[in-house]
Amino acid sequence: MAVDLRLSEDQLQGRRAAREFAATHLSGVAAAIEGLPTPEERFRATRPFYREMVRAGFLKSLIPAADGGAGTSLLDLALAGEEISGTDVNVSCGLFSSGLALQPVIGYGSDEQRARLLAPFLTDDGTPLASFAFSEVGGSANFDSTDPAAGITTTARRDGDEWVISGHKQFTTNGSGWDGAGPDLFTVVCRTDPALPPAESLAVIAVPGRSPGVRVGPALDTMGHRAALSPRVSFDAVRVRADNILGSPGDGLAIVTRTFTWSAAMVGSGCVAVMQTAFDAALEFARTERRGGSVPIIEHQSVGYKLADAKIRIEAARRLTWAACHAFDTTGDLELPVASKVFASETAVEVVQSLMSVVGIESYGHELPFARLLQDALAFPLYDGGNQGVRRRQLHDLLRTPSYDSRSATEGGAAAR
């Protein structure tokens, strides 16, 4: 990506194609889930839309070319993600959550593991799902705690040629699969010895979703992301082959950090998508509505200034997201991805709310998109590592590192080594 931040013709073409795909295939999601009373029913109703995403190559774009995928850069994924999430966050959440779950395999799997575990997702049709089983029922902000009684409590006990996994997870997006029996693949964060610190025991193990002992529980009926399903999942002495561990015990710290660095930048694109959709709707309203006056309300400075402020913040979040994706693609550094997640997610809530004040009371109903967009935006600061419990702590830890260089993130280097 050049310093001037201009997109290449291929990137512009890919962006336009994603926008057209969303308008053609995802614009019907809202009607498909309307009135369905449970999150499980709403999630199942999105399956045909997810299949269209697979057919269009979005799933294969998450997988490197060396492993048989399209090898799309994170920046190009974010460009497409902004377009599809602007039309519907639910199906894109399912897709990118599959990508989140595959990241440990992509980043740390052996040649044999990548060939075996990624194969179901290298398809031009179908609806394969993957789920990253990270969050614990008691909370996971302190997943790296050295206290044996804290942090990750899900365990994996070695028994001959198998790992035996036991524990309880929640917010496992895609964890139910389409029929409640589990996804095609879990990547499970666990401890191989609860008496050892995470640096020696934290691990990620690939688990086929329909393995005996996997129990899918209820999902939170959320305010926003109404058709993105994140249930509780229990692993009751689930047995998997010993060579399903990704890396070695203790590698889980690096695997989790890399995985959530990837997703942090992608969350930024979803935040920008929601803000852009709200801005377009507010701008159209301001251009056409007089609200009993003699001119459209955009002629009033109070309206125009709010729109200008919103657009400034959208562009700032968009450019920071692009920079974050570029940083991940080139250096793997976490500072810009984490910063973009915090800034874009909190800005999204503020921008949508501000744009609602431009429209007024009509924005509070569901005839216009603002109420739905605000409900979706409220999730961004809370999920994918909450901004308070996880993301700011990551930045704080980085700042505390003696070798931290406050300029390197924008100069193309790693902030601390």
pLDDT in tens, 221-242: 999 899 999 999 999 999 999 9
Q: Which residue has the higher pLDDT, 75 or 150?
A: 75
Q: Helix, strand, coil: what percent of the chain each, to 5?
A: 55, 10, 35
- Does 61 reside within a domain? yes
Q: Are residues 228 and 261 in the same domain?
A: no
Could you tell me the CA-to-CA distances from 327 to 66, 83, 333, 408 in Å, in that order? Answer: 21, 21, 6, 11
Mean pLDDT of the region 333-346: 95
Contact 55, 127 (CB under 8 A): no
Q: Are residues 61 and 97 in the same domain?
A: yes
pLDDT at 201 (0 to 100): 94
Q: Are residues 281 and 397 in the same domain?
A: yes
- Does 4 reside within a domain? no
Question: Coil, helix or strand for 345?
Answer: helix
Q: Are residues 271 and 382 in the same domain?
A: yes
Q: Are residues 295 and 203 in the same domain?
A: no
Percent of the chain with pLDDT over 90: 83
pLDDT at 146 (0 to 100): 80
Does the pLDDT of residue 258 top 50, yes or no? yes
Which CATH number does the domain housing residue 202 bear? 2.40.110.10
Q: Give the separation between CA 111 and CA 206, rounded to whole angstroms.
A: 14
Query: 248, 264, 290 — which closes off a domain?
Result: 248
Contact 311, 298 (CB under 8 A): no
Q: Which residue has the higher pLDDT, 3 or 193?
A: 193
Q: Are residues 224 and 75 in the same domain?
A: no
Does the pLDDT of residue 416 top 60, yes or no? no
Residue 376 bears catalytic tag? no
- Which H or E element spans position 252? helix 252-288
Percent of the chain with pLDDT over 70: 97
pLDDT at 414 (0 to 100): 62
Q: Give the separation between CA 181 and CA 195, rounded to whole angstroms.
A: 32
Q: Are residues 29 and 155 in the same domain?
A: no
Which pLDDT band, with edges at 50, 70 and 90, does 4 fall under? low
Query: 224, 248, 272 — which closes off a domain?
Result: 248
Domain that holds residue 63: 9-121
Q: Are residues 173 and 307 in the same domain?
A: no
Does the pLDDT of residue 1 top 50, yes or no? no
Which CATH number does the domain housing residue 63 bear? 1.10.540.10
pLDDT at 2 (0 to 100): 47
pLDDT at 417 (0 to 100): 45
- Does 416 reside within a domain? no
Q: Are residues 406 and 257 in the same domain?
A: yes
Query: 121, 143, 175 — which closes off a domain?
Result: 121
pTM, whole model, 2 decimals? 0.92
Mean pLDDT of the region 9-16: 92
Q: Are residues 268 and 371 in the same domain?
A: yes
DSSP class of residue 145 equals -
Q: Give the separation between CA 250 and CA 169, rounded to whole angstroms.
A: 20
Mean pLDDT of the region 371-382: 95
Tally Cβ neighbours within 10 Å of residue 3: 5
pLDDT in tens, 169-218: 999 999 999 999 999 999 999 999 989 999 999 999 999 988 999 999 98
124, 384, 397, 405: which is the annotated catalytic residue? 384
Q: Give the separation between CA 301 and CA 295, rounded to whole angstroms.
A: 12
Contact 373, 87 (CB under 8 A): no
Among candidate residues 136, 137, 398, the one with its CA nearest the CA of residue 264: 398
Mean pLDDT of the chain, nearest integer: 93
Which residue in the block uniquely carries the two structure tokens 């070798």? 403
- Does 2 reside within a domain? no
The tally of domains found in the chain comes to: 3
pLDDT in tens, 274-309: 999 999 999 999 999 888 888 998 999 999 999 999
Question: Coil, helix or strand for 190?
Answer: strand
Q: Are residues 53 and 92 in the same domain?
A: yes
pLDDT at 281 (0 to 100): 96
- Does 395 reside within a domain? yes
- Does 415 reside within a domain? no
Which CATH number does the domain housing residue 270 bear? 1.20.140.10
The radius of gyration of the chain's CA atoms, rounded to the nearest angstrom, is: 22
Which pLDDT band, with edges at 50, 70 and 90, does 253 fall under? very high
- Does 390 reside within a domain? yes
pLDDT in tens, 100-157: 999 999 999 999 999 999 999 999 999 999 999 999 988 887 888 888 778 899 999 9
Q: Are residues 242 and 257 in the same domain?
A: no
- Does 47 reside within a domain? yes
Contact 183, 209 (CB under 8 A): yes
